[in-house]
């Protein structure tokens, strides 16, 4: 990430300006997404403390990653810039993290598709249901009917960024963790309303800005979709 070159872009809060600009594509089934993570990476590796050749220290550095910082990172990764009001989301139709416009109904970028060209490869994958777990709940199989469940799954995330002209930005953080989903559905003869609330707590390990790193924290998503009955 450079996270981002020792976190310079992220910490300054400067949006990366690329050669291209993302264009909106309409979508339905949108969940609003929030990230609250911490990346801890190597700062100093066995640095001689006082020049005596005997005393060495190693240190780590931490960076908080919220939505604003993550959007700036994605802009650099994908070599683009976002329109004012752009936000993180999740498209249920494509099962991908997205960047959406300020209305939340138009996709600016599919993060899972990412970018792969002569200068870079970059993508972010997010899977709420990498592995099944137990669930509890109740459903009413009738019309009108309903269902309410809480499920426990293994989620998975990967942030990959390789800028071929700058090895110092190389990032490959991947890992998994518990995802708790609260799901509810109500249907009538004319419509169906589905609500989802995801809470994913990953532990990811790998490289950030070309240095060994770990990522911890929380990714949440919430939304409600109403559709006409077939």
Q: What is the pLDDT along the chain (230 residues), one digit of tens a residue?
A: 333 332 322 222 222 223 334 544 444 578 999 999 999 999 888 776 666 777 788 889 999 999 999 999 999 999 999 999 999 999 988 999 999 999 888 999 999 999 999 999 999 999 999 999 999 999 999 999 999 999 999 999 999 999 999 999 999 999 999 999 999 999 999 999 999 999 999 999 999 999 999 999 999 999 988 888 76
pLDDT for 17 equals 28
Q: Give phi and psi for 4, each to the nearest 5.
A: -85, 115
Tokens representing residue 75 in the block: 């802009």
Q: Is 32 exposed, middle or buried (0-12, 13-18, 19+ CB in 10 A)?
A: middle
The answer to whether 146 touches 170, Cβ cutoff 8 Å, is no
The H or E element that residue 176 is part of is strand 171-187
* C-alpha span between 105 and 85 (Å, rounded): 12
* Positive or negative torsion for Cα 63, 66, 71, 72: negative
The answer to whether 150 touches 136, Cβ cutoff 8 Å, is yes
pLDDT for 199 equals 98
* Spans of all domains in the chain: 8-20+27-44+59-130+155-176+198-224
pLDDT for 50 equals 66
* C-alpha span between 7 and 67 (Å, rounded): 15
pLDDT for 56 equals 81
Tokens representing residue 156 in the block: 């998975």
pLDDT for 211 equals 92
Answer whether 0.85 is exceeded by the pTM: no
């Amino acid at each position: 990430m450079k996270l981002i070159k020792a976190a310079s872009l992220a910490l300054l809060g400067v949006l990366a300006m690329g050669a291209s600009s993302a264009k909106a594509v309409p979508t339905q089934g949108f969940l609003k997404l929030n990230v609250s993570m911490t990346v801890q990476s190597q700062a100093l590796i066995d640095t001689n403390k006082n020049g005596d050749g005997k005393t060495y220290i190693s240190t780590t550095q931490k960076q908080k990653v919220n939505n604003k910082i993550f959007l700036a990172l994605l802009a650099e990764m994908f070599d683009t810039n976002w329109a004012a009001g752009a936000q993180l989301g999740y498209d249920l139709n494509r099962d991908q993290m997205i960047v959406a416009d300020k209305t939340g109904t138009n996709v600016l970028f599919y993060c899972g598709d990412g970018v792969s060209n002569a200068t870079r490869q970059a993508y972010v994958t997010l899977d709420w249901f990498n592995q099944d777990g137990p669930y509890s709940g109740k459903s009413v199989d009738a019309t009108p009917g309903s269902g309410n469940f809480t499920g426990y799954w293994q989620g998975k995330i990967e942030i990959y960024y390789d800028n071929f002209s700058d090895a110092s930005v190389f990032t490959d953080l991947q890992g998994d963790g518990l995802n708790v989903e609260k799901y509810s559905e109500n249907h009538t003869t004319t419509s169906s309303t589905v609500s989802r609330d995801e809470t994913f707590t990953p532990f990811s390990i790998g490289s950030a800005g070309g240095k060994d790193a770990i990522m911890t924290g929380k990714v949440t998503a919430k939304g409600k979709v109403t559709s006409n009955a077939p």
